[in-house]
Amino acid sequence: MLPIRSISKLIRCFSNTAGVSIKRNKLPPRPKVSEDEIEEVFIKGGKWWAESKYRWKLCQLEELKFKTNSNFFKINKTNSKVQLTHIPTGLVVSSQATRSREQNRKHAREQLAYKLQELLDPENSRAKALRELRIQKKHSKVKKTKKKYKLLDEEKQKQKELEKNEEQEEMIFKFE
Amino acid sequence: MPRIPPSVFRQALRTDPLLVPLLPVTRSLSGAQAELRWLRKEVPKPKLPWAIVQRSNYRPLQYILGDQPFLDLSIKCAEGTLIPRWETEEWIARIKPFISNVKIIDACTGTGCVALSFNGTGSNIVGIDIDTSCLSLAKFNQQSNRCDDIVHWAQCDILNWTDDLHHVCKGVNFLVSNPPYIPWEEYTKLDRSVKNFEPQLALVGDLEFYNALVHNLLEPNLNTCDGFVFEVGNVNQIHHVRDLVKKHGWNVGYLMDSAGYHRCVVGWKPDGRFDFKKLCDFVY
Ligand SMILES: C[S@@+](CC[C@H](N)C(=O)[O-])C[C@H]1O[C@@H](n2cnc3c(N)ncnc32)[C@H](O)[C@@H]1O
């Protein structure tokens, strides 16, 4: 009979080799989305408005409309919510994460880029890799507490920083 | 206004009871959740109930928390001064790249957010307002945001042409303004949080302000001034300004905002230092 300790060692050995583990520094790069494909809409306005190359055409339409019906007035309350539409796919994201509209615009663009990548290339997407990394981390945490893993101070620091970065990235998926 | 369905109230109660008093103000669960998150983050715990009561009485969040992010600035807000709007933020971000090393006048400056946003363009900036309490807030904002470009403040009434005004505006190259532009009939229909808490002086106005901007600020400085941007509330105000400057041969266009409304009238001299044609959403 094998002693219990060696059994657990064996199991650990197997669980380590099974499945490809994800490395933090080998994640797919952060996705980006082209400004030309985005339409930015203020959330409370009933009408829509396109950014960039769609702008000019729309304006000419507007001008015609307003020649006939010209008294159209609007003051909005203060609001920082931003909504983006990806024109080619129709994917919509919105962000109300902070009180700063500029921050929310950035946040919404990041979110859109991640979602888009997941839609177009789910296998190699960064979002998927991040999710797997999180699961992996959970497992290794359990292991670590058992083993009383000792990292060098320097390494620990690095690890912490990486984890902080990941947390920030995970925030992208919150506060829609 | 449509009624908020009871199911939304129930849902709010289930997630967090503190959301319930905020719901009638924000009118959506996600809005209430966002505001509660910000209140929790920025208000010290013993003051949180007070802050929530204030907000449930429709006091604007910015007056409770004391500030509003504006581009990369943090603008202090206080009762008696208009809270900077995202519409203004949007057009400033679009115009700023066109501006460098000029004398800028920001008429009707309020918190100073417009004037201070042009910090970093190497310009000489003057903010004008009729209200002294606005000007002291603007000065505070200048210091707290460490704006090193030359910024001055002047107390003038732009509706009356005076020597003071003439002196302040002399040599201006670029004129910006977000004047009070809401006609009285529209003002009475505004949201409670705006009407009951923000100053009437900063909101109610119409064509008289655009007349003043053109006649008292622009026309006396036609040789030096090469461009202007005025925020507007409707397309009539754009047409009005266009007709006023047409006789000087200026180019005129406008900007829309991302809610789909006409937001700014833009003018520039044909052979001046600014070419705003690329900036405008429509050029006349
Ligand atoms: C719509 S607020 C603009 C505030 C700020 N520029 C902004 O965009 O948030 C208009 C400002 O004009 C000022 N004002 C009103 N009447 C004025 C006048 N006759 N001359 C100069 N300023 C005036 C008000 O005090 C108020 O601060």
- Residue A83: closest CA among A94, A68, A72: A94
- Scanning every residue of chain B, which has its alpha carbon at the shortest distance from the alpha carbon of A84? B258
Q: Would you identify the CATH topology of the domain A27-130?
A: Double Stranded RNA Binding Domain (3.30.160)
Residue nearest to atom 6 of ligand 1 (CA): B109
Q: B34 vs A175: CB contact, 8 Å cut-off? A: yes
Euclidean distance between CA atoms B161 and B165, whole angstroms: 7
Q: Which residue do the tokens 């006023």 mark? A: B244
Q: Does residue B48 carry a pLDDT above 90?
A: yes
Min mean pLDDT across A95-104, B222-231, B234-243, B255-264 is at: B255-264
Confidence of residue A65 (pLDDT cuts 50, 70, 90): very low
DSSP state of A33: -
CA distances from A69 to A3, A76, B137 (A): 88, 21, 40
The number of C-alpha atoms within 13 Å of B83 and in the hemisphere containing its C-beta is: 26
- Rounded to 10°, the helix B29-42/B48-56 angle is 140
| Averaged pLDDT, B41-47 | 93
Which residue from B194, B203, B261 is facing A74, i.e. has the nearest CB?
B261
Q: Report which protein residue has its CA nearest ligand 1's atom 24.
A: B202
- As given in the structure block, the two tokens for residue B258 are 């991302």
Q: What is the DSSP letter of B229?
A: E
All domains in chain B, ordered by first residue:
6-57 (no CATH), 77-283 (3.40.50.150)
Please tell me if the CB atom of residue B135 comes closer than 6 angstroms to any atom of ligand 1.
Answer: no
Give φ, ψ of A134 to 5 degrees. -65, -45
Q: Which of A155-169, B11-25, B52-66, B116-130 has the lowest mean pLDDT?
A: A155-169
pLDDT range class, residue A82, cuts 50, 70, 90: confident
B159 lines ligand 1 (CB under 6 A): yes
What is the Cα–Cα distance from B235 to A165, expressed in whole angstroms?
46
The mean pLDDT of B251-274, rounded to a whole number, is: 89
Mean of pLDDT over chain A: 64
Q: Is the pLDDT reported for residue B173 higher than 80?
A: yes
| pLDDT, average across residues A151-157 | 70
B51 lines ligand 1 (CB under 6 A): no
Q: Is the pLDDT of residue B52 over 90?
A: yes
User: What does the mean pLDDT of chain B come to?
Assistant: 92
Say whether pLDDT at A118 is over 90: no
For residue B180, the CA-to-ligand 1 centroid distance in Å is: 6
pLDDT (average), residues A54-69: 43
> Can you tell me the distance from the alpha carbon of B7 to that of B13, in angstroms, rounded to the nearest whole number?
10
pLDDT of B177: 96
**What token pair was written down for A160?**
């912490």
Nearest to A60 by CA among B280, B26, B67: B280
Quote the CA–CA distance of B36 and B15 in Å, as a whole number. Answer: 12
What 3-state DSSP class applies to B237? helix
* β-bridge partners, B129: B155
- Specify the pLDDT at position A20: 56
Q: Choose between B80 and A39: higher pLDDT.
A: B80
Q: Residue B214, SS3? A: helix
Instruction: Provide φ and ψ at B69, rounded to 5°.
Output: -65, 140
Q: How many helices (H) and strands (E) does chain A have?
A: 5, 3
Residues of B with CB under 8 A from a CB of A: 30-31, 34, 37-38, 60-62, 65, 68-69, 71-72, 83, 85-87, 89-90, 93, 182-183, 186, 190-191, 193-194, 203, 233-236, 239, 256-262, 281-282
- The pLDDT of residue A107 is above 80: yes
Taking CA atoms only, the protein residue closest to ligand 1 atom 7 is B84
Pairwise pLDDT comparison (A94 vs B123), residue with the higher score: B123
State the pLDDT confidence band at B244, using cuts at 50, 70 and 90. Answer: very high
With CB atoms and an 8 Å threshold, state whether A74 touches B60.
no
pLDDT at B188: 87
Of chain A, the percentage scoring pLDDT greater than 70 comes to 48
Is B180 touching ligand 1 by the criterion CB < 6 Å?
yes
- Chain A residues with CB under 8 Å of B90 CB are 101
Tokens of B253: 């266009």
